[in-house]
Chain A
């Protein structure tokens, strides 16, 4: 594996490790690994202890695995290294599930020991004006920019079809020369555009989800919480729009390097910049949400623990007509899997992702 490739994949691993490790410190403060706590619990040192233990265990494991993987893959080929790093990430996810589960048990025990009670709220608040989706997210016309970029790439290919070599280089070896080729065909030449199209569908769908999701309000501060929720939705919408646009441009650049022999260094520099921008933006957004107190709103209709399955990651509530609700930790949104349309959408999202991945894998053979 080349040095730039090592940098990209190890920083990707680092990002995932970071996100998994600091999980316990982001989102709702009154939630401890899926267990709801009363406000007075926030001062309790035992609560902080449980969070700290999770970070140390998971973070420690992440570092150990990452270093091991780095040392092992230093002299491997790209595809082998890729498999090792993918296995490391998978292992990290499994371990984090375990540490999550253990922390959840500790949290539950602590809550019982302290006798903490959290009353289920019986007030429901909604805005009659903002009940409509207008204005909470970027208009879908903004995604025409993505379509324009993709169309431009396709146009470029069509115009330069004859200049594209019969054997397209798909991987650069350590010597600085290509070592893997695929044959030119309509499928192989346009596969990147297919992935671009799938990306546009995915992110436009994500934008739609944000606009349709319930706007959780605080009955004690209706105007304030409404303002915060709308702002939060806007931030997520803009961030997703921007990141996906950079991603689509990235794919276009990859296509240009592959087909027209553009400078590979340009692509690598873009990749590294894009990866850095992606990480920094996500962390920046999380920090901004925390500083502006935009991430502490509970969603009342979904707050009962019994509706959240699988360590609090899947929401199933047949009494709730909403399709999209804020997720347990208040970071994003999730689908109500008791809803049949919800199940269809979840399956469709998985299908789009899997298709995109398969397209890449099967065309790079």
Chain B
């Protein structure tokens, strides 16, 4: 699985990293228990500051997506992912609200919006690259 960062994006680098790792888990490219490179290693490979990678990993650990394993280092949580929390629902509503508003203003119907959401959800969880 590859990480691709855009240094000129409006999204901060640590957030891009968090998003991509979560997407990787969603698509199945990263499976439960899969090891990730160490903070230092990933920072070296990307040529970015260690603190940025550290921040991303810490966020993911706090949320329960990653775990620190004694021998393997950082791994995708082997015991299953955290469930839907209130905090997540609030985040979901917050981020969807602005998109829904713009869609409505631009004249998109509720059905079209729902269909788009559905197709994005399905694309994300489909195992990329087959298998």
Q: Of the listed stretches B1-9, B91-99, B107-115, name the one at the interface; the rest are far from the partner chain.
A: B1-9
Count chain A CB atoms within 10 A of each CB in B6, B40, B41 and give the residue with the most.
B41
A124 x B47 contact (CB < 8 A): yes
Alpha-carbon distance between A54 and B46 when the two chains are bound, in angstroms: 35
Q: In the complex, which of the residues A124, A128, A215, A322 contacts B1, with contact meaning CB atoms closer than 8 Å?
A: A128
Partner pick for A126 among B3, B6, B7, B8, CB 8 A cutoff = B3
Contact B44 A322 (CB under 8 A): yes
Q: Within the assembled complex, what's the spacing in Å between the Cα atoms of A217 and B4?
A: 10
- Taking CB atoms, residues of chain B closer than 8 Å to A301 are 46-48
Q: Cβ of A214 < 8 Å from any Cβ of B?
A: yes
Decide if the interface of chain A is mainly helix, strand, loop or mixed.
loop
- Check B43–A128 contact: CB distance below 8 A: no
Is B5's CB under 8 angstroms from A123's CB? yes
CB contacts (< 8 Å) of B3 on chain A: these are: 124-128
**In the complex, A125→B40 CA distance in Å?**
15
Residues of B within 8 A of A125 (CB): 2-5, 46
Tell whether B50 is near chain A: CB-to-CB under 8 Å.
yes
Instruction: Identify which of A126, A219, A222, A302 contacts B45 (C-beta below 8 A).
Output: A126
Majority-rule SS of B interface residues: mixed
Tell me if B37 counts as interface (CB < 8 A to partner A).
yes
| Residues on the B chain within 8 Å of A319, using CB | 47, 49
Say yes or no: A132 contacts B41, CB within 8 Å: yes
Residues of A291-307 contacting chain B, CB below 8 A: 300-302
B44 to chain A: closest residue by CB: A322
B128 CB to nearest chain A CB (Å): 12
Q: When the two chains form their complex, are residues A129 and B5 in contact, meaning their CB atoms are under 8 A apart?
A: no
Contact A323-B44, Cβ < 8 Å, known A128-B36, A131-B37, A132-B37: yes
A-B pairs with CB below 8 Å: how many?
Answer: 73
Is A321 a contact of B37 with CB atoms below 8 Å?
A: no
Closest residue on chain B to residue A299 by CB atoms: B47
> Are B50 and A321 in contact (CB-based, < 8 A)?
yes
Q: Bound state CA distance, A300 and B47, in angstroms?
A: 8
Bound-state CA distance A217–B45 (Å) is 9
For B, the interface residue count at a CB cutoff of 8 angstroms equals: 24
Please tell me if B42 contacts chain A, counting CB pairs below 8 Å.
Answer: yes
Interface of chain B residues 1 through 28 with chain A (CB within 8 A): 1-8, 24
Residues of B within 8 A of A131 (CB): 36-37, 41-42, 45
Question: Known contacts A122-B6, A128-B1: does B47 contact A320 (CB below 8 Å)?
Answer: yes
Contact B5 A127 (CB under 8 A): no
Query: Given A217-B2, A321-B50, A128 and B24 touching (CB < 8 A)?
Result: yes
Residues of chain B within 8 A (CB-CB) of A222 are 2, 4
Docked complex Cα distance between A321 and B48 (Å): 7
Q: Is the CB of A124 within 8 A of B4?
A: yes
Do B49 and A123 have beta carbons less than 8 Å apart?
no
B91 to chain A, nearest CB (A): 24
B30 at the interface (CB under 8 A from A): yes
Across the interface, do A124 and B24 meet the contact criterion of CB distance under 8 Å? no
Distance between A283 CB and nearest chain B CB, rounded to angstroms: 31
> Do the beta carbons of A214 and B45 come within 8 Å of each other?
yes
Beyond A122-B8, A127-B1, A131-B42, 16 additional contacts (C-beta under 8 Å) are A122-B7, A125-B5, A126-B46, A127-B45, A128-B1, A131-B37, A132-B35, A132-B37, A217-B2, A222-B2, A301-B46, A319-B47, A320-B44, A321-B48, A322-B44, A322-B45
13 contacts between A and B (CB under 8 A): A124-B3, A124-B5, A124-B7, A126-B3, A128-B3, A128-B37, A128-B42, A132-B37, A132-B41, A214-B44, A301-B47, A301-B48, A321-B47
Q: Rank and list the top 7 A-B pairs by shortest CB-CB distance, nearest first.
A: A301-B47, A131-B37, A126-B45, A322-B44, A122-B7, A124-B5, A122-B8
